[in-house]
Amino acid sequence: MTTTIENTNEFDAVGYTFDQLSNRGHRPILSGFMGASYDIRVESVHVRVKHADTTYRTRHKISKYPTATIEKLLYPRWQWYISPQASAAPVALVLIATTESGLIYPYILPEAVLAGRTHAQLTSHPENYSGWLDEWLCEWRVIDFLLKNQTRVGTHEMTAKYRHWRSIQNGMVG
């Protein structure tokens, strides 16, 4: 489920996230100061918001038949740089990709899933993307999961715990 905006230059990622959390029954609180390690707090969960517009990477396609030609191809991508933050509280990351046409694709994941990564990226349009971030698209339930599961665990444990919790929420496990 995506949302559309008219002007991506004026997109307020924190405001969008605040509204999404409010619409889902949470009571978000803005961090209120510049040096905070999070943008929004929902009870005991810290929420960090990162936004990426479409950028392009260049590849060259060389054909040799019938004559040698070089074709410049542009591939869209979205990238986020994430600096690790020390926090005693559980942290949710909201990575937002906006397209040139104004579509918004939010990826919501527990920070522990990053396992020390400082960079995340989509290497194709979000509708065609099938990499490791794909399962976190529009997963606003991560906030509920972190509120109920306050323990800090490693990457694979967190992902496994979340998948199990999500299957229970979906009624797939008794």
Full domain range(s) for residue 10: 3-53+80-169
Helix 155-169 vs helix 141-148: crossing angle, to nearest 10: 110
Q: Is the pLDDT of residue 36 over 90?
A: no
User: Which CATH number does the domain housing residue 146 bear?
Assistant: 3.40.1350.10
Q: What is the pLDDT of residues 85-120, one digit of tens each?
A: 766 678 899 999 999 888 999 999 988 888 778 899
Query: Per-residue confidence at 10, pLDDT binned at 50, 70, 90?
Result: confident
Q: What is the pTM of this model?
A: 0.81
Number of domains in the chain: 1
The residues, any chain, with a CB within 8 Å of residue 110's CB and separated by 6 or more, are: 90, 91, 92, 93, 142, 145, 146, 158, 162
Contact 152, 90 (CB under 8 A): yes
DSSP letters along 142-166, please? HHHHHHH------HHHHHHHHHHHH
State which of 3-12, 77-86, 99-108, 116-125 shows the largest mean pLDDT: 99-108
What's the CA gap between 39 and 14, in Å, rounded? 7
